[in-house]
A and B are shown apart, each in its own frame.
Chain A
Amino acid sequence: MIERRDVYQAIADPTRRMIIQKLSAGALNIGQIVEDSGITRQGIAKHLKVLNECGMITLTQKGREQFCEARLDQLDEVVDWVNQSRKLWGQRFEKLDKFLAVTKKL
């Protein structure tokens, strides 16, 4: 099975959302991400790998440190999906309203 690697997979996991949120304030090294996260360095590294593959973060080597930066523009895709979905439900509500009104008369 081919694994999905996109922004949705990036945000589907609570730990990864936590990482994205931490990074939304600016670039951090791995130690800073691990700090106060309650998750091991190994666990964080695993999620960073997925986030990187999803194109949600970029990793840069600076001396001995590796810095992570969130590519927050990727979230625009999610905004689009949310808007589309909202529109679809609006259409359904309208139709169900009509359907319920019609069945009531019967």
Chain B
Amino acid sequence: MKSKDKELLITHLFDAPIGEVFDAWTDPEKLRHWYAPDGCTIVYKSIEVKQGGKFHYHIHHPLHGGAWVMGTYVEISSPEKLAFTIRITNENGDIINASSAQWPGEILTTVTFESIGSQTKATIHEAVSEEEARKTGAYAGWIMMFNKLNRLLTGQLPE
């Protein structure tokens, strides 16, 4: 189980019914209240919540400045699943190619929601995507691969 903390598969149990949780993820007015990182604010320039729809937002930090993020909804299956890609862009939505240590280019995020009694379990799977969801086969694997590598490196797997 040691490798678990290296895997970007995160789950969280929300104390609300599935419809409300899904709504909080897809309503820009609600997203505004929680989606920004700590100490930051978020402003949506545009958001079109539908399959193939795009969103474009600005994250602002009073000291560190801000960043524009643009993404595409790859899948919206209310209330069970939400998948979208994100990239760092400029205000006009042009992709900024320069990658940094903290930003692996395009990321594909898949969120699944599951009712557990009156609560909702959300599972987030994040992966580096090479070309949007066209290669969906790629994203399931890289984290597993990474874990495997990690275990190999730390001598936990027999060769």
- Rounded to whole Å, the gap between the CB of A66 and the closest CB of chain B is 23
* B67 neighbours in A (Cβ, 8 Å): none
* Smallest Cβ-Cβ distance to B131: which chain A residue: A12
Q: Which residue of B15, B101, B104, B141 contacts A101 across the interface (Cβ within 8 Å)?
A: B15
How many residues from B make CB contacts under 8 Å with A? 43
A79 and B154 CA atoms in complex are apart in Å by: 14
B1 at the interface (CB under 8 A from A): no
Is A81's CB under 8 angstroms from B104's CB? yes
Pick the residue among B8, B16, B103 that contacts A82 (CB under 8 A): B8
Q: How far is the CA of A77 from the CA of B14 in the complex (A)?
A: 31
Check A104 for interface membership: any CB of B closer than 8 A: yes
| Segment of A34-42, A57-65, A84-92 in the binding face | A84-92
CB nearest to B140 among chain A residues? A14
Residues of B at the A interface (CB closer than 8 Å) are 6-8, 10, 12, 14-16, 20-21, 24, 30, 33-35, 37-38, 97, 99, 101-105, 122, 124, 126, 128-130, 135, 137-138, 141-142, 145-146, 148-150, 152-153, 159
In the assembled complex, 20 residue pairs joining A and B whose CB atoms fall closer than 8 Å, in A order, are A1-B97, A2-B97, A6-B99, A7-B104, A8-B99, A11-B142, A14-B137, A21-B148, A24-B152, A72-B153, A81-B101, A81-B103, A85-B126, A91-B38, A93-B12, A93-B122, A95-B33, A95-B35, A100-B20, A104-B16
- Chain A residues positioned under 8 Å from B124 (CB to CB): 89
Q: How far is the CA of A38 from the CA of B104 in the complex (A)?
A: 28
Q: Secondary structure of the B side of the interface?
A: mixed
With contact pairs A11-B128, A17-B141 given, residues A99 and B30 touching in the complex (Cβ less than 8 Å): yes
Q: A86-B8, A89-B124 are in contact. Are A11 and B145 (CB under 8 A)?
A: yes
Whether A17 and B15, one on each chain, are in contact in the complex, defined by CB atoms closer than 8 angstroms, is no
Distance between B15 CB and nearest chain A CB, rounded to angstroms: 7
Is residue A46 within 8 Å, beta carbon to beta carbon, of the partner chain? Answer: no
- Residues of chain A in range 7-52 having any CB-CB distance to chain B below 8 Å: 7-9, 11-14, 17-18, 20-21, 24-25
| A100 near B101: Cβ-Cβ < 8 Å | no
In angstroms, Cα B39 to Cα A91, docked, is: 10
Check B33–A13 contact: CB distance below 8 A.
Answer: no
Q: A12-B128, A12-B129 are in contact. Are A96 and B24 (CB under 8 A)?
A: yes
CA distance A8 to B124 in the complex (A): 19
Across the interface, do A17 and B10 meet the contact criterion of CB distance under 8 Å?
A: no
